[in-house]
Amino acid sequence: MYLGRLVEIAPAPELFGNPNHPYTQALLANVPRLEARKSRFSPITGEIPSPLGPPSGCHFHRAAHSP
């Protein structure tokens, strides 16, 4: 979910094995892993749109592509 909206729905093996939405990809890329003890957190760049006045279309597209 992003800003209260579902961004991707798939069976668990498909979702974890091949996520399609950039937000899902970013979330899964930052899941803590035992084998990667010294990994760095990679924040998503951009600005979070206002949930009171979200952009049209996918709410995530403005956050992911903002300077």
The pLDDT mean for the chain works out to 79
**pLDDT tens track for 15-36:** 999 999 988 998 898 888 777 6
In a domain, 40, yes or no: no
pTM over 0.75: no
Residue 17 domain boundaries: 1-32+45-58
Write the DSSP string, 1-66: -BTTB------HHHHHHS--SHHHHHHHHTS--TT-TTPPP-PPPS-PPPTTSPPSS-THHHHHH-
In the chain, the number of structural domains is 1
In a domain, 63, yes or no: no
Write the DSSP string, 17-28: HS--SHHHHHHH
Q: Please, what is the end-to-end C-alpha distance for the chain in angstroms?
A: 23
In a domain, 21, yes or no: yes
